[in-house]
Chains A and B, each alone.
Chain A
């Protein structure tokens, strides 16, 4: 069995399905993250308590973080290998290569680039917030980090806000291909409901990417 699993993990289809699984899970994470971000609009206390409670989870949080790192790292490593192999598979490049307009889209063609933007974004994002300026606040008699303030400060800058909007646009483009594509990779493509899956993918991309972007813009307006 272990042999079969190794073969699977090395095969093009196996790896693609791993990328799909990790991608879909990350999509799920984005929804949770977005839900948390909505609290930014509710108010500083709501958001800070939410962040505080997350931290109260203790070891569980570390497990979750490790899981996310693994998902993201795995997704990234596999995708990079894939992209590299695919570049090599062409051999000599075409002098002219055009899309027919019926298959490859700007979304699918730019997966490595949007992925790269997301990677850069993620690193900066963690530095800016997780390891960003630390303020304290007291809510209902409990001392906790005032992450809300860090956020508001950051988005006061139009440049920072613009960069986030760009990054969220990249995420939307990335997931608009990735979401439906995962279903295809698992083999869940059926003429009856694949168009539906594709629509859901686009709605997801717009809702999540747009949601994040909208929140940053509102925060900018609030903080500026």
Chain B
């Protein structure tokens, strides 16, 4: 463990509430005429990427935007259902910037940087204003005012929403702003592209190598700064609620070029997903957490229960969340609820054909409020469930199980969202910053948009104004070197023609990760995971079967490159989890729990960010530390009892 001056968070001085204002004033500006001379690469078009690309283009920068899908409108932010938080206090229920800040820090189990979180709470209000101005149809009251709902981990109603499609509406809002600037010629779009390496020239991030996924060609792109807005790495678990193409490759390749990876073991497992039902399963679908407002979670009291759920009488049911957490009940936070579900299935009380599920029952809610009220609230979700599972949740209890949903860890960034490589900025889920060890519901959208709309426009200008950026072209040897490296890797993968498919390896990796680096981790398990992943990685590089060649649309090759990186990341996640000898938020070590099974933090030793430095293939990474200082919040034990 070592402290490094590379990990200077650059937190501005002064009182918490004034840091961001002061910082904006202290930051250097680029004058409007000069902005035209700078170019920026933005990788990813989710909420962070789209909002950053649009805003930077509006300011006058020349933006190149890259996305892996066929259109930038399809980034996975689109799948967020619940909502977006802001400290508007429209409901007059006691909300404030200070409270949103506090809830987020507490929800993150005191592993986030105070100054970042406070800024996030500050700009949350601007986000709502901006999105409304762009025509996002947020839910309204009859009088025309914006409506709010409440969400897990908060006692105020501060969540703005657009039916169950808030992420979609926000993304399409940001995307439309981007399209406006594409039409004006200030953004050049590169769709169906995958970033495969970062190009660093004279210590500065100056470009990327991409593959045109359609024709397989490798391309070099140069700019004065690079923004990674590439989302999280939940797909390391193979099964997650992430989209199929969500991957860590862009971030991981940047990591290998010198960007530190922070807190990779902090992953969020969402408690209400549709359970796995077969080996062929390709992804997991989340059911909005809001279901827990009315649904009651239970399992049978007896193992090997064979009766149908509706035939099991009240006395043979264990409403375990209500039993263990009488005050929060079914609304206990995500990590807590997920873990309880795991305990039940570990005890052999799981339900459904795979025994890896628990019931979420609306019988009592329907009895209490009537079918039409419940249908009005959750009709869409019930329909979705029925489409996927083939059972009617109005009549039979839903089956749910936790699934990997979000990764709090990511590339380390300072207050300016700059990584340890100058010029490489990381936004949204791809960075590690604001959620600590656990993210609250409706905060991911907030962070992505905060970074893109309201933080990076200031901090990137400061970077340009205060650094000398030499003129570089794509003929520079650093581009050639990076491209060759990518080519060598794909040639190698294509040459193996082994016996197992990429998906088979990925599924094996996911299995290891889920068992040992999932909801409950132990020293023994993590060590086993590291050794298993290494073995799997060796096999992968000997026996993977990637058909075809690199000169066309070869998605098996694309997947193979991603899985190669997941294998390395998985090992680092296990290592990070192993080194963090405490339980906090999404990271639960079985050795560090109270008698009644709650997480026990170690603030003495682990109130810090672990940032990992890549040291080369086959070499041990170095764990650096950024101490977290809590000057405004008192560290306390989270309790939801």
Contact present between A and B (CB < 8 A) = no
